[in-house]
Amino acid sequence: MSAFLISIPASIERCLATPLLSRVMRPTFGSLLYTLIDKRIDTTWRLLFIKYAHQALKWEPRIRIVRLVPVAADDGGSVSIRIEYEELESNEIKEETLYVAA
């Protein structure tokens, strides 16, 4: 049984959805993904998205990131992230697709 109270996918979502510097007691928790809202989705945007997501996920000690892929919806505004990760406790590779921005 894990000592963590929250599931890995929920923890990943929390790390990505929390704006960096928004938590007084943990100012380095969260991500800069919010800075990409309303920006044109191009190669630079995709690279920054991956960089910011990777930086934020250092807060999830139960996983090792294998692959991060931003997935822009056809409507041009919705963005999800496909995360492939290794769960360190079981060495199992898992994949999640999470909605992160609009």
pLDDT value of residue 75: 64
Each residue's pLDDT, cut to its tens digit, for the chain (102 residues) gives 456 688 999 999 999 999 999 999 999 999 999 999 888 888 999 999 999 999 999 999 999 999 999 887 666 667 889 999 999 999 999 999 988 764
Which residues are CB-contacts of 77 (< 8 A; sequence separation ≥ 6)?
A: 102
Q: Which helix (H) or strand (E) holds 50?
A: helix 43-56
What domains lie within the chain, and their CATH numbers?
A: 8-101 (3.10.450.40)
β-pair type (79-87, 92-101): antiparallel
pLDDT value of residue 37: 86
φ, ψ of residue 73 in degrees (nearest 5): -75, 165
- Please tell me the pTM assigned to this model: 0.87
pLDDT value of residue 27: 92
Residue 24 has which token pair? 């007084």
pLDDT value of residue 78: 76
